[in-house]
Amino acid sequence: MRETLPSAIEDYEQIPFQEFTQKAYLNYSMYVILDRALPHIADGLKPVQRRIVYSMSQLGLASTAKFKKSARTVGDVLGKFHPHGDTACYEAMVLLAQPFSLRYPLVDGQGNWGDPNDPKSFAAMRYTESRLSQYADIFLSEVDQGTSDWVPNFDGTLNEPKLLPARLPNILLNGSAGIAVGMATNILPHNLREVAKALIHLIDNENTSLDQICKFIKGPDFPTEAEIITPRSEIKDIYKTGLGRVKMRAKFHVEDSEIIFTALPHHASTEKIYEQIASQMEAKKLPMVSDIRDESDHEDPTRLVVIPRSNRIDLNALTDHLFATTDLEKSYSFNMNMIGINGRPQVKNLVEILTEWLEYRAETVRKKLNFKLEKILKRLHILEGFLIAFLNMDEVIKIIRRSDHPKKDLIKAFSITELQATAILEIRLRQLAKLEEIKIKSEQKDLNSQKKELERILGKEKAFKKYIKEEIKSDAKKYGDKRRSPIKKRKEAEKFSVTDVMDIQPVTIILSKNGWIRSAKGHDINPEAVKFKSGDSLLGHLRTKSDKPIIFLDNTGRSYMLFSHTLPSARSNGEPLTGHLSIQANAHIKFMLSGENNNHFLIGSSRGYGFILKFEDLLTNYKNGKAVVTLKENHELLNPEAVIDLEKDYIAAITSKGRLLIFKLNQLPNLKKGQGNKIISIPKRELKPPVPETLNFIKILPPNANIFIYSGRHYLKLNPGNQKDYTGMRGHRGKKLPRGYQNVDRVEIVPI
């Protein structure tokens, strides 16, 4: 056994594991990109969608046919073209049928196919029935006219079209969404008539600009009457790059002092919006709203009523808040990533999409016309044979009756081709006798006329372009409709501030060393007297007002934000701050700040660097905070100092080796984040172990104030006159304090 095992292993191909995994991942990635997730620019369909449409056409499920069970269609798709899960296939089919999901549905459904509030609530495929929509004809009307390249199906028993010959750019009309490996796509739908006009203009003007195209294509057009509020300039930028975001806002009107929403953004749910508003009411964040009702029914699919508490409520401010805090306003990513004619995925701009699709359409039309021409030429050739047969009727009948090889004898006797001979033999003798020269020549005349017209269209570029334009105009008239999503200019929605929904009162925030936090009403509380859990003690406190945001700074230089109304009462032991904020495992809160947005603070580090920032630059809505101060290893954040006067104030900086430097505050830069500039110079030799020198204190020093420097039981008082000895320029070394005061424990600034 031990001897045979190695030889058995040697029989298999051996490759390095890394090489195997790389190839496997690459193959999988390309499969997902090309065969699952991304649509093709030609027909705007993914493979599963293309197979559903084609399979339904093969089942005879045209728009005029009777409905058939969806399970029949899904079974046909899986069995013949798409050997994957039936659930996934049916969900793809449902998406093609939902008028609230697709701008121009490809499937006409009967039964429960879901609703806007819950698109996934559709019935099982054994209960629903379906057929193709009229719009689906744009994919199928030319599929058997030599326009498609055919490829074997998964088991090689059948052929399927590689692409469908779409008569319109479905890639823009219905859009597409999908996630591949390393890339994604999200193409928003557009209005058919607008796109058709742009195509016609582009045919007539090949070098047209995006500005001219945007005169026809105003923007996306969703299957909802909600408003698109993205400015036209931004929409134009999206069309220029193929990337961006588009905002939609619910449509509403005021009736008897009630706000009634009648159209929601694409894929927004009245149920979810109802819950969002109700939760705000429960949290007492909407005291001006007394009630909310969902009155949606079959007659009014969307009717959401918000009832204000009184007639004095500013309805514009209320609706703005609702837009900013609920799905009444939604944002949609725009990523026009697709597989091009060259078979490669690429993000394309609007002009590139239209131009490339027109190239594909021109090639398709040329194939179609050549197919028709070949068919006419073949028929003319056969008619020539029929005419010969008519003129030699008796001899033809004689050869057919008596000859053992009538085809060969006919070819020899009348110098006709095999095709002509075959056509003559396939006609019944009774029909052959009825052949009339007039009928044959009449058909020849008609076909020759069609032949000349086709040759004219194919031979002249102008006529060819006109033919394509007429087809587009015809389809636009047949399938087009008015824009559903109006593009409106609206101001940015803003939610209520905390001051609008709560009573303003003084509060004291208490933070323990173990990171437990609580909020006490009033400023008269003594933080030192507050009880803590065993092993815990006071880290710091902050006196502020309930409407002011509280900023927390950790030892890594990140800032976090909370409001006092979200914190537990001081009557309890509080709650861990980590329950409110996502603080890194190696980090801990060091300082708390509060103030107005335009207040300034001095920020510094023990390395001797610092800068001035506004309080608003510390604000953040992210639970994991944001980086504000850049700190290197072993450097600590110093206690931030509130700035009184940017122009008149000074900075007093003291190092661990007793060096003091005083300089004008305006010598430091105003930054939003970073390391800042050098406050005091600390030579490299002083930074070396065992006891490296650090900046220990930075204080804001008004022009008329004394500095009290404490060292043990003693203190040194520096009045404005004595301070001049230590005054210099930012970044200088500073001057040593007198002996006995170089080991500084505490610094106080006392105004005179």
Tell me the catalytic residues: 127
Q: Which amino acid is at 91?
A: E
Question: Do the Cβ atoms of 713 and 671 come closer than 8 Å?
Answer: no
What backbone phi and psi angles, to 5 degrees, belong to 241? -105, -25
| Whole-number Å distance between alpha carbons of 628 and 612 | 11
Which of helix, strand or coil describes residue 71?
Answer: helix
User: Rounded to the nearest 5°, which phi and psi values hold at 329?
Assistant: -130, 125
Separation CA 534–CA 640 (nearest Å): 30
- 159-161 and 304-308 as β-strands: parallel, antiparallel, unpaired? unpaired
Q: Which has the closest alpha carbon to 517: 592, 620, 626?
A: 592
Instruction: Using alpha carbons, list the distances in angstroms from residue 156 to 80, 151, 283, 452.
Output: 10, 9, 62, 40
Give the contacts of 666 (CB within 8 A, at least 6 positions apart). 646, 647
Cα–Cα distance between 130 and 255 in angstroms, integer? 40
Which of 395, 386, 379, 376 is closest to 437 using CA atoms? Answer: 386
The answer to whether 85 touches 101, Cβ cutoff 8 Å, is no
The type of residue at 662 is: I
Residues 6+ apart with CB under 8 A from 500: none
Q: How far apart are CA 98 and CA 579, in angstroms?
A: 42
The CA–CA distances, whole Å, from 29 to 2, 37, 42, 47, 180 equal 40, 10, 22, 16, 7
What is the spatial distance between Cα 272 and Cα 249, in angstroms, rounded to a whole number?
15
∠ CA 99-103-108, nearest 5°, is: 40
- In contact, 323 and 250? CB cutoff 8 Å: yes
Q: How far is CA 111 from CA 14, 108, 355, 747, in A?
A: 55, 10, 40, 79
What is the distance between the alpha carbons of residues 467 and 479, in angstroms, rounded to a whole number?
A: 18
Residue by residue, DSSP assigns 242-272 as: SEEEEEEE-EEEEETTEEEEEE--TT--HHH
Task: Give the list of residues 6+ apart from residue 309 with CB closer than 8 angstroms, or none.
Answer: 287, 288, 289, 290
Q: What are phi and psi of 49, to 5 degrees?
A: -65, -40
Residue type present at position 685 = R
Between CA 141 and CA 164 the distance in angstroms is 10
Cβ neighbours of residue 224 under 8 Å, at least 6 residues apart? Answer: 100, 248, 263, 264, 265, 266, 484, 485
Sign of the alpha-carbon dihedral angle for 448, 465, 350, 342: positive
Q: Are 236 and 300 in contact (CB under 8 A)?
A: no
Q: How far apart are alpha carbons 492 and 331 in whole angstroms?
A: 13
DSSP letters for 13-25 = ----HHHHHHHHH
CA-based end-to-end distance of the chain = 98
